[in-house]
Chains A and B, each alone.
Chain A
Amino acid sequence: MSRSTPPNKDEFEISIIGPGRGECVIVHLGNNEWCVVDSCVPRGSSKSVAIEYLSSFKNGALDRVRLIVATHWHDDHIHGLASILRQVPTASFCCSAALNTENFFALVGIAETGGQRNSGVDEFVSILETMAEKTTTPQAKRRATPMWATEHRSLLQLNQRDGCFPATVTALSPSDSTIKLAFADLARLLPQTGDKQRRVTNRSPNHTSVVLWIEAGSMRALLGADLEHTSQSDEGWMAVVKCHHDPQSAALFKVPHHGSTNADYPQVWTQMLVENPIAVVTPFTGGKSLPRQSDLFRLAKRTTSLYCTAPSAGKVPSREALVEKTMRRQVIDRRVIEGNPGHVRVRWSLTNYVTSPVIELFNGAYQIIQQSPAISQS
């Protein structure tokens, strides 16, 4: 099936796209109603993949985005999110309640004042600017105010519509304890008098990420964001598993934090997911590259239906000989951080279970086979 073929109105779709600059999950909740989680912009483009993908259907899908979620503020997740908000003024916007503090708004203020824009917090400046433009009337203000996600907060509820299945989107994190912890983390990023006006970098941990539980008819999906596992029972994945009550298990799992070991909590697989679920990993190309071979090996032991959206961000561009020679002499490691995103698309027909699910791979996405030499443990 072509990538630009829209889903039927009775189909539940989860598309996982990345990494460009950022990554993105696009969810069809039936009846041409959509939810967009995070955002990514492909190399050389200024348009979010969500806009490009939903526009390609030519059925008004972009105008029917009901919810936009920023799982956390790091720019490997939300690049281009403000552009989606501008295109879809009627969508609700949701982000982590851990950001609803004066410290985070101060970081936004710093990014505005500092003049050096190029980080996740700068994307938030654009998001809040876009939302502020909408707050002209009290009614518009209500719509423009972000929903602050906390554990077990329902973010979207779509009842059975026109013979279509009901759908809900629920936040499973951050927990109350995490929100308190985040306050101190954000405070550490704030400058003091006399500090240089530097760019705000992503140095805070990922424990404030918003994990989402999606229900569509009888289907369930768990989107893990970048939430990590900690030793505290009321934080991270332990808190999520502890407060999970849905008797149904998820058939699809977006593996948290690019498959890294610090986000691995085996109880998630045994208590929240069906046996042998579809698991999708998105690579991380900045900092230390993820997933490592050992991560893929570990994940491939848990499911045979493991997919990765892209092999890597791609080759570094080649430049003239003098420049290349000098770079090689002075730089010991060099890699592209903005790639051409790959795409894993899973569609379930909620009226015809025999043909479901249909898994399609686009733009370099691939399945990881346990026997593959690429992931054999060295």
Chain B
Amino acid sequence: MPQKSLITSLPGQEKAASSGSATTSLAVADSPLFEFPSRPNLGGQQSSQWLGTGAFASPVLSETAISAEKFNPAIPCGATLRPRLRLAISGRTPVLKTRQLWEGTVTEVRDVGFVAILSDKTNPRNPAEQATFEFDNIEISPEDQKLISPGSSFYWIIGNECTVGGQVKNVSMVQFRRVPAWTQRKLKRVADRARRLRDLFQEEL
């Protein structure tokens, strides 16, 4: 069954097929969302430019049609209108209240998920835990998914997010740490250090 569109109609738009009737259904889908009495006929031009040819006609109006619209586009009686929501309130940003934070280290990657050691950063007295995650149950961004490999570390936050509109919702967020890559210079430094350590701890037999 086709879904009802959230945009029901433009003011004054009529369905061609029922223009002569007492009431006009203005639903863009197959069932009307609201109805209002038909307006007086504005001429033959109207039917070809204002209206489509079927129930799913495009609501796009031509310039001529708009200029020809001399009537008062009053809100029809009984119409249900959706209030315009303010999507952003200046000076406010979403606020995340962390209820639980872990630092995790991946120990094993499987086809369907990964295993990690979690250390509790909210209550460090809690013991470390091993947890098995399945990719299907946890939202990890595609960029972060590329970072999952043994040894990689991440933060897992469970908390409440207060949106700019004032809504509070529960969130669970896994974010992998971006770590720099080994450079030739750094690896050389490691190799030098390894040689020095080995010399230091050579047994004198």
Chain B residues, CB < 8 A from A105: 193-195, 197-198
Do B149 and A198 touch across chains, with their CB atoms under 8 A apart? Answer: yes
Do B128 and A109 touch across chains, with their CB atoms under 8 A apart? Answer: no
What's the Cα separation between A195 and B184 when bound, in Å? 11
Do B129 and A193 touch across chains, with their CB atoms under 8 A apart? Answer: no
Do B105 and A197 touch across chains, with their CB atoms under 8 A apart? Answer: no
Do A286 and B201 touch across chains, with their CB atoms under 8 A apart? Answer: no
Contact with A along B174-185 (1 / 0, CB 8 A): 000001111110
Contact with B along A127-150 (1 / 0, CB 8 A): 010011001000000101111100
Check A145/B129 contact, CB under 8 A, given A106-B190, A109-B191, A330-B138.
Answer: no
Closest residue on chain B to residue A148 by CB atoms: B203
Does any Cβ of B come within 8 Å of A181's Cβ?
no
Chain A residues, CB < 8 A from B179: 116, 196-198
Do B172 and A330 touch across chains, with their CB atoms under 8 A apart? Answer: yes
Check A146/B128 contact, CB under 8 A, given A112-B193, A332-B137.
Answer: no
Do A338 and B127 touch across chains, with their CB atoms under 8 A apart? Answer: yes
Q: How far is the CB of B128 from chain A (nearest CB, A)?
A: 5
Do A118 and B119 touch across chains, with their CB atoms under 8 A apart? Answer: yes
Closest residue on chain A to residue B116 by CB atoms: A331
Q: How far is the CB of B198 from chain A (nearest CB, A)?
A: 5
Does any Cβ of A come within 8 Å of B88's Cβ?
no
What's the Cα separation between A124 and B100 when bound, in Å? 31
Binding-face segment, B7-15, B57-65, B77-85, B151-159: B151-159
Chain B residues, CB < 8 A from A116: 105, 153, 179
Does any Cβ of A come within 8 Å of B30's Cβ?
no
Chain B residues, CB < 8 A from A43: 127
Contact with B along A51-62 (1 / 0, CB 8 A): 000000000000
What's the Cα separation between A287 and B172 when bound, in Å? 24
Residues 144-172 (chain B) with a chain A CB within 8 angstroms: 147, 149-153, 158, 160, 170, 172
Chain A residues, CB < 8 A from B191: 102, 106, 109
Do B197 and A191 touch across chains, with their CB atoms under 8 A apart? Answer: no
Does any Cβ of B come within 8 Å of A194's Cβ?
yes
Check A198/B152 contact, CB under 8 A, given A145-B203, A193-B184.
Answer: yes
Chain A residues, CB < 8 A from B92: none
- Best-buried of B115, B198, B204 by chain A (most CB within 10 Å): B198
What's the Cα separation between A199 and B158 when bound, in Å? 24
Does any Cβ of B come within 8 Å of A326's Cβ?
yes
What's the Cα separation between A102 and B170 when bound, in Å? 50
Interface residues on A, range: 35 or more
Do A146 and B117 touch across chains, with their CB atoms under 8 A apart? Answer: no
Residues 88-112 (chain A) with a chain B CB within 8 angstroms: 100-103, 105-106, 108-110, 112
Do A128 and B189 touch across chains, with their CB atoms under 8 A apart? Answer: no
Contact with B along A195-212 (1 / 0, CB 8 A): 111111101000000000
What's the Cα separation between A198 and B178 when bound, in Å? 10
What's the Cα separation between A100 and B181 when bound, in Å? 27
Does any Cβ of A come within 8 Å of B86's Cβ?
no
Do A287 and B180 touch across chains, with their CB atoms under 8 A apart? Answer: no
- Best-buried of A105, A317, A320, A323 by chain B (most CB within 10 Å): A105
Do B151 and A200 touch across chains, with their CB atoms under 8 A apart? Answer: yes
What's the Cα separation between A102 and B200 when bound, in Å? 12
Does any Cβ of A come within 8 Å of B187's Cβ?
yes
What's the Cα separation between A112 and B105 when bound, in Å? 17
Closest residue on chain A to residue B139 by CB atoms: A330
Does any Cβ of B come within 8 Å of A336's Cβ?
yes
A100, A146, A201, A332: the one within 8 Å of B150 (CB): A201
Do B201 and A128 touch across chains, with their CB atoms under 8 A apart? Answer: yes
Chain A residues, CB < 8 A from B115: 287
Do A145 and B133 touch across chains, with their CB atoms under 8 A apart? Answer: no
Check A197/B180 contact, CB under 8 A, given A102-B195, A146-B203, A326-B170.
Answer: yes
Do A108 and B197 touch across chains, with their CB atoms under 8 A apart? Answer: yes
Does any Cβ of A come within 8 Å of B45's Cβ?
no
Residue positions of A touching B, CB distance < 8 A:
21, 43-44, 100-103, 105-106, 108-110, 112-113, 116, 118, 128, 131-132, 135, 142, 144-148, 191-201, 203, 285-287, 313-314, 316-317, 319-320, 322-323, 326-327, 329-339
What would 14 more interface pairs be, CB under 8 Å, given A192-B187, A317-B120, A336-B128?
A: A44-B127, A103-B194, A105-B197, A106-B190, A108-B194, A113-B190, A145-B202, A197-B179, A197-B181, A199-B105, A203-B150, A287-B130, A319-B100, A334-B129
Residue positions of B touching A, CB distance < 8 A:
99-100, 105, 107-108, 113, 115, 117, 119-120, 123, 125-134, 137-138, 147, 149-153, 158, 160, 170, 172, 179-184, 186-187, 189-191, 193-195, 197-198, 200-204
Please list the 6 inter-chain residue pairs (A to B) with the smallest Cβ-Cβ separation, ordered nearest first.
Answer: A198-B151, A105-B194, A338-B127, A109-B190, A109-B193, A106-B194
- Can you offer 20 A-B residue contacts whose CB atoms are under 8 A? A21-B128, A100-B198, A101-B198, A102-B191, A105-B193, A106-B193, A108-B194, A110-B190, A112-B193, A131-B201, A142-B204, A194-B182, A316-B129, A317-B127, A322-B160, A326-B172, A330-B133, A330-B138, A331-B131, A331-B137
